[in-house]
Chains A and B, each alone.
Chain A
Amino acid sequence: MSDMTPQTVAPAAGVPGRTDAAGSSSARPLVEITDLRMFFPITQGILISRHVGDVRAVDGVSLSIQKGETIGLVGESGCGKSTVGRTILRLYRPTGGRIVFDGQDITTAGGASLRSVRRRMQMIFQDPYASLNPRMTAAGIVSEPLEIHGVGVKSERQQRVRDLLATVGLDPSYGDRFPHEFSGGQRQRIGVARALALHPDLIVADEPISALDVSIQAQIINLLERLQGEFGLTYLFIAHDLSVVRHISDRIAVMYLGRIVETANSRALYERPLHPYAVALLSAVPIPDPAVEGRRRRIILTGDVPSPSDPPPGCHFHTRCWLRERLGNPDRCVAEDPALRPLSSGHQVACHFAEEVDGSAEQVQVTGRSPGAGGVAAAAGPAATAPYAPAGPPPRPRDRG
């Protein structure tokens, strides 16, 4: 990943001009959303539709994105992470809150002013089959944003398309081909080329690799990282796969039922998760190493995610929270919305009892790295002799006698 390392995002102690609560530095953020809400109405009736409720897809989200960084937005399906991405791009008109892009309030922008901002933000979609027009050639698809925004004359556009295809690792002569002639990974490269066409500042990548084969995913991740370095891009990377998000992101925001429950730089989140949901989410991710898997204990959350049309009162997570149960089901979780509060530099958590998570057996289990044994030490690279054979207890996953 470019020159942007987690260290440059996490402030060194004593760096002036940094306000922890907002998680922003003195530099103006590229995107700043404040208390963003996006409700989708539920209506009843055929001829006269009555408004009977709302799906509260995004319910008070604040987030700032610095230029050049990658923010990972994780959560389970229905948590509102895609809606946040789409609302930032103003594909929806938000129900409430504010979206500021590079100093300009675009919450209610429309027409020409919105179009000029949209040039600077692009999207990469999950499904490279559905997101490319099957009747257009690859060159036509990549050139379309240039045509819409009236960039250059035809010959210039053609040259730009050839350059873009080469940039994303496709043979420029493939421009005449149609999407069905490409493999999934190649199609996603076309989608990336299209997103790059207008030299955007921000790219919202919504599950850009989850529809791809395992052996292809790393190609696209590496491509996105290389392009970020080359063009100074800012990414909002939306995904459900925590391993991928951790790999690519400088900072991560964990969402649950329309709200951000924890934000931290990616190292801190994985080494010291402080929200009970984040701990459970991390514990649920399977690790491709039988030795590690044999040692880990998962926190099995009971039940399903409640409906966003009728979220539980107070903390949205209280119905499934392992910590609340441990603490004897305090009323505060039901009565009071926990606000996102800073617990350490750049690390914010929305939990009344986050201090109880720190140092708990569950947190240690999830980050559990008994020194000398385990995947982390072994995965350190060439120094280790056998990266897939960490020392430790015999790794039979289960003993069947």
Chain B
Amino acid sequence: MSLLSIRDLVVRFRTHDGTVFAVNGVSFDLDEGETLGLVGESGCGKSVTNLALMRLLPLPAGHIDGGKVIFNGEDLLTLDESDMRDLRGKEIAMIFQDPMTSLNPVLTVQEQMVETIQAHRRVSKSEARARTLELLGMVGIPQPEARLKNFPHQFSGGMRQRVMIAMALALEPKLLIADEPTTALDVTIQAQVLELLSRLAAEHGTAVILITHDLGVVAGMTQRINVMYAGYVVEAATTKDLFARPRHPYTVGLLHSIPRLDAQPGEPLIPIEGAPPDLRFAPLGCPFAPRCAWRVDRCWKEMPSLEPIDPSYEVVTTGPQATHRAACWNPPTSGEVVAARPLRPGFEPAAPPAQVGS
């Protein structure tokens, strides 16, 4: 059985601008010790999915309107708040993009780490302090003894993120959710933090959900990837399969639109035209259809479900043999993946239904 199993999760925000359809039926599984990447642009629902599973959605706007989140055999959505509080930090820990807003600015590092440990473990203050020291050493903070009494603002960005990682791993959680952990960091510091994160997760057997918009980061860090768009998982595959044979037009578009350091000079970028949809409108059809060169009539009306790219495949949702799945009515062929456009003679993207009717 998987460590984590999310089924048909639906999250909406009720705002005075109307309902925001943030997550529209997301399902995925995660095994112990696995690293899963959730990739997508801002507003695709990758962070909201994880806030929902931690039951940390901003209230009163955020609502979980359906689905199940089974962690270790328990549905987290039915737990009462005190059980949930017990679980956060101990079983599932989280690291955010900006450590400055997630650390308490008026407490020293020692105070907040000891507090975290003592909230979940019956240990004396000196034991908690010793553990804190050990953790800070483990994440590579130089002279940890001297830094215990420092406040968060006295650390650099990279060091602060190390403190966050130390705190997240303090209680040896089974699952670590890292939400854009290196987006605010410089590239050489990002390399340090990613290296640390993957080494520690491997050593402790921690499962990791890595949320990022950076395909380069997930390529080196993860074993599996879910690509998200407008509140849906549109493609799910092992990291190797996803990059080798992208199947959803959005994934294909992303891979062609980012410049690669190792590309041939002068190679043009092929952008995805248009912009992500406004999530205040109820989803109708595939949300990517307006930007998609492969769309057919059906795409405007009906959202396809996530299906194996070869119908004969049996669906395996986790591990190195996970089935490559995509949600697309008219997936690009391998030649079209290379060309980044449809090559079928006479193929035109289907016009929106309003124009079809008139």
Contacts and interface: CB of A to CB of B under 8 A. Distances in A.
Interface in A35-79: 76-77
A22 interface: no
Interface stretch (A23-31, A127-135, A288-296): A288-296
Contact of A77 (B186, B216, B262): B186
B269 A287 contact: no
A215 B260 contact: no
Interface in B255-296: 255-273, 275-276
Contacts of B261: 242-243, 246, 270, 282, 285, 287
Nearest to B263: A379
Nearest to B198: A398
B265 to A, nearest CB: 5
A137 interface: no
Interface string B307-328: 0000000000000100000000
Interface in A214-250: 214-219, 221-222, 240-244, 246-247
A187 to B, nearest CB: 11
Contacts of B253: 215
Contacts, number: 197
Nearest to A5: B266
Which of B142, B191, B222 has the most CB atoms of chain A within a 10 A radius of its CB? B191
B214 to A, nearest CB: 7
A213 B223 contact: no
A143 B209 CA distance: 47
B214 A286 contact: yes
A78 to B, nearest CB: 9
Contacts of B338: 382, 384-387
Given A215-B276, A242-B187, A381-B267, A369 B220 contact: no
B223 A397 contact: yes
A214 B254 contact: yes
Contacts of B220: 286-287, 290, 293-294, 296, 397
Which of B250, B253, B257 has the most CB atoms of chain A within a 10 A radius of its CB? B257
A284 interface: yes
A255 interface: no
A397 B190 CA distance: 17
B187 A369 contact: no
A289 B260 contact: yes
Contacts of A186: 275
Contact of B269 (A221, A270, A282, A289): A221
Interface in A267-325: 267, 270, 280-294, 296, 298, 300-301, 303-305
Nearest to B259: A247
Contacts of B264: 376, 379-381
Which of B215, B256, B269, B339 has the most CB atoms of chain A within a 10 A radius of its CB? B269
Prevailing SS type, chain A contact patch: loop
Nearest to B142: A303
B186 A246 contact: no
B100 interface: no
Contacts of A242: 187, 261
Nearest to B33: A400
Interface of B: 33-35, 41-42, 142, 156, 158-159, 186-192, 194-195, 198, 202, 213-217, 219-223, 239-240, 243-246, 250, 253-273, 275-276, 320, 334, 337-339
29 contacts: A215-B41, A215-B250, A215-B257, A217-B258, A219-B273, A240-B187, A242-B187, A242-B261, A243-B216, A243-B259, A243-B261, A246-B261, A247-B269, A285-B187, A287-B216, A287-B220, A287-B262, A288-B219, A289-B260, A300-B191, A304-B158, A369-B262, A375-B260, A379-B263, A387-B337, A388-B244, A388-B245, A389-B245, A398-B223
